[in-house]
């Protein structure tokens, strides 16, 4: 009998029956009753909530049965430690082993197979919680570890103690490829940073870590075959092969594949310090300290290049066991190719008309090398050129059109366009970006070619201190897009759950919350940070790549400080977002045309929330001004702080007019809107994110 059938029989025999009054959570997880809200992320494929709770105490134990491997035992042990850490309960069980079978255990884990770390492995699980006990069942360890994460998210507390909400869950991911790309080249992160992000990935049911290991700004992995790569191209900042093996094993036990990217033929300056013969131009190279597209590129007309890459890829293929290997392939401007007479001669002799055809020839040679070492090629969407076989994976970054084109041509694809978290977009914008376009009318066969997506964390403006705050918690919302059914897209509910998920991620070692506070203490010279925090809560960095273009006198370099206010600010300022939402709620009574759903935050009194927050902001500048006077690094935000105070005062004045049934004259409206427009201009690379809300209030107060 098949394992799944056996598991289903065991489930029946265990009599974990949900009680009456089931509530199915389709589009959103909200609550069982008014005082109990569910904070799962990602939302499961199918969940039934039921009345009742399973309370736990210090006698709590778990049992493992079936085919059990390290993936299950390791994460079951971690589950116990995290459960104990959250509750303060002194749980007797120490390390879970394959022999940890206990008939009286409250949590019974049954696995039908050893977990595997590969694409398209079964990741489904069944979880049932009742007053009588808890059952977790999966066909392998991959499903077990995700079920444990879901169970831990179900933990809540009341006056009677800690409990798990009664429920029945059948869950599996929507997409098999749910990744995070971490760029360790532009700024290097030590191994502990990578490990804590791996733990966070598991918590959010992500299963692919894509490490960007070579760039113009650094070569970040030890090569024993070509040691000058890391010796000369890394500033001494790189992973040893033993460290990388440690990362790969750490991730493997957590069900996460690790695969490398070595960018070629461009984004490759760091290769040429040690091995200049690889390059297309005979010159002296140094590690690049600036950002943007650079001219250096590998020489595709020289056989030495392919001999070198054959040996290098062979070495890295042994180090990285995953079947996929990323070659980059993006943003080659071809300038050094044009300057090389030998390359131009090679193109003419082989009737190669442009740089695109030449790069295709290069990619075809690299593909043969990868195939030799049993690796499958992944590349950015520039590698999608005529004559490339469709057994490669296209990672789309420039737009969904390229991804759809590739999928229709039977290429496997993964989407990163819309998931570039270094663009400083808010969470909602990423969250509503679906890998499968609604109106694309793709056939089921074509949709299967879209494997999922990857969050991309480029490192121009992140160092070890602030990288967590740039990746999380927004990536948790994107992870839900990769895992949960397509209809799960209630933005208000996402934000509600994300608040809880964000602080739970801290227990994994992430610094996205505490390092922001540390940064504020440094900026204020350890003075009271409340006034600076009030400012940070309503401003955001300028979006897209406008921070790169500061001008020659103030340009960013690799060694530039990332400790200013813009570097500790949110990409999705929480109070600004709530002020905008409260404004929408408040002005509903002045308009019968609005169709926006009621907010989860402000159903009681959005007006009072606005008044409280705007009062706080209107008075904030005087307090912050005293801090700025003794902190030179903060002087750049002084006009920003003053503008926030003025915006808040306009908002309060407008609410007062609305409540007094007064209207602004057209002249007054135009005057206020002009002032507010001026306040939209960035200062210190920051934008005030409550201006649009106050503009709405002004227009309503003018009768619009």
Q: What is the set of active-site residues?
A: 331
CA nearest neighbour of 655 among 698, 592, 704: 698
Rounded to an integer, what is the distance from CA 340 to the centroid of its chain?
41
Residues 6 or more apart in contact with residue 275 via CB below 8 angstroms: 226, 228, 229, 308
Rounded CA separation 500/115 (Å): 29
Q: 10 Å Cβ neighbour count for 543? A: 15
Are residues 186 and 459 in contact, defined by beta-carbon separation less than 8 angstroms?
yes
Q: 10 Å Cβ neighbour count for 257? A: 22
Tokens in use for 645?
């105070």
Are residues 273 and 90 in contact, defined by beta-carbon separation less than 8 angstroms?
no
Are residues 526 and 438 in contact, defined by beta-carbon separation less than 8 angstroms?
no
Tokens in use for 393?
């994976």
Rounded CA separation 142/278 (Å): 42
φ/ψ of residue 585, rounded to 5: -65, -45
Q: DSSP letters of 552-595?
A: GGG---TTS---SHHHHS-SS-HHHHHHHHHHHHHGGGG-S---
- Is the Cα dihedral 268, 273, 279, 282 positive or negative? positive
Rounded CA separation 648/614 (Å): 5
* Beta bridge partner(s), residue 377: 325
Query: E strand or H helix at 39, and its extent?
Result: none
Are residues 621 and 645 in contact, defined by beta-carbon separation less than 8 angstroms?
yes
Tokens in use for 400?
């969904």
Tell me the CA distances in angstroms from 527 to 410, 500, 519, 522, 531, one per residue in order. 59, 29, 12, 9, 10
**For the CA atoms of the chain, what is the radius of gyration?**
27
Rounded CA separation 371/368 (Å): 5
Half-sphere exposure of 579 (CA within 13 A, CB side): 31
At which residue do the structure tokens 């290991």 appear? 213
Rounded CA separation 503/500 (Å): 6
């Amino acid at each position: 009998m098949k394992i799944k059938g056996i598991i289903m029989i065991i489930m029946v025999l265990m009599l974990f029956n949900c009680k009456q009054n089931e509530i199915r959570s389709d589009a959103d997880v909200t609550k069982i009753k008014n005082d109990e809200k569910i904070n799962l992320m990602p939302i499961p494929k199918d969940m039934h909530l039921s009345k009742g709770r399973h309370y736990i105490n210090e006698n709590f134990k778990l049992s493992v049965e079936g085919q059990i491997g390290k993936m299950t035992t390791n994460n079951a042990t971690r589950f116990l430690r995290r459960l104990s850490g959250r509750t303060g309960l002194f749980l007797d069980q120490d390390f879970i082993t394959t022999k940890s079978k206990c008939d009286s255990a409250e949590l019974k884990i049954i696995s039908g197979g050893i977990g595997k770390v590969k694409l398209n492995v079964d990741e489904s699980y069944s979880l049932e919680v009742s007053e009588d006990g808890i059952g977790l069942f999966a066909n392998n360890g991959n499903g077990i570890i995700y079920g444990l994460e879901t169970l831990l998210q179900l933990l809540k507390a009341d006056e009677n103690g800690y409990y798990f909400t009664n429920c029945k869950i059948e869950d599996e991911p929507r997409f098999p490829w749910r990744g995070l790309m971490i760029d360790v080249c532009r700024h290097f992160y030590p191994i502990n940073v990578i490990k804590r992000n791996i733990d966070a990935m598991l918590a959010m049911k992500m299963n692919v870590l894509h490490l960007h290991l070579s760039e113009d700004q650094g070569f970040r992995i030890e090569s024993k075959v070509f040691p000058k790569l890391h010796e000369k191209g890394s500033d001494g900042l790189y992973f040893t092969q033993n460290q990388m093996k440690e990362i790969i094993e750490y991730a493997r036990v957590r069900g996460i594949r690790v695969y490398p990217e070595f960018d070629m033929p461009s984004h490759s300056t760091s290769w040429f310090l040690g091995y200049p013969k690889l390059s297309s131009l005979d010159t002296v190279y140094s590690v690049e300290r600036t950002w943007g597209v650079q001219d250096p590129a590998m020489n595709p007309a020289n056989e030495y290049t392919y001999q070198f890459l054959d040996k290098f890829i062979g070495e890295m293929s042994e180090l990285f066991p995953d079947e996929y290997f990323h070659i980059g392939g993006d943003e080659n401007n071809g300038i050094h190719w044009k300057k090389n007479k030998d390359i131009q001669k090679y193109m003419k002799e082989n009737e190669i008309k442009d740089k695109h055809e030449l790069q295709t020839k290069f990619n075809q040679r690299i593909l043969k090398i990868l195939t030799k070492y049993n690796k499958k090629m992944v590349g950015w969407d520039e590698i999608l050129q005529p004559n490339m076989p469709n057994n490669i994976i296209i990672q789309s970054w420039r737009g969904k059109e390229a991804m759809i084109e590739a999928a229709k041509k039977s290429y496997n694809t993964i989407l990163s366009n819309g998931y570039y978290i270094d663009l400083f977009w808010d969470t909602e914008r990423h969250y509503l970006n679906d890998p499968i376009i609604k109106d694309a009318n793709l056939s089921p066969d074509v949709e299967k070619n879209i494997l999922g997506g990857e969050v991309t964390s480029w490192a121009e403006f992140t160092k070890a201190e602030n990288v967590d705050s740039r990746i999380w918690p927004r990536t948790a919302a994107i992870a839900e897009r990769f895992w949960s059914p397509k209809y799960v897209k209630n933005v208000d509910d996402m934000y509600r759950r994300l608040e809880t998920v964000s602080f739970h991620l801290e227990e994994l070692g992430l610094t996205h919350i505490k390092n922001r506070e540390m940064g504020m203490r440094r900026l204020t010279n350890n003075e009271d940070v409340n006034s600076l925090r009030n400012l940070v809560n309503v401003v955001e960095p300028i979006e897209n790549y406008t921070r790169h273009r500061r001008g020659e006198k103030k340009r960013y370099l690799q060694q530039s400080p990332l400790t200013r206010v813009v570097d500790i600010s949110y990409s999705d300022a929480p109070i600004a977002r709530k002020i905008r939402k409260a404004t929408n709620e408040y002005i509903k009574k002045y308009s019968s045309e609005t169709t926006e759903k009621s907010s989860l935050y402000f159903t009681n009194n959005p007006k009072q929330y606005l008044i409280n927050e705007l009062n706080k902001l209107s008075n904030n500048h005087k307090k912050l001004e005293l801090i700025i006077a003794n902190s030179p690094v903060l002087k750049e935000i002084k006009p920003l702080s003053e503008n926030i105070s003025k915006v808040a005062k306009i908002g309060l004045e407008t609410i007062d007019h609305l409540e007094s049934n007064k209207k602004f004259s057209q002249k007054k409206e135009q005057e206020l809107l002009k002032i507010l427009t001026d306040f939209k201009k960035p200062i210190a690379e920051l934008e005030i994110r409550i201006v649009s809300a106050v503009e709405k209030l002004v227009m309503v107060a003018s009768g619009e």
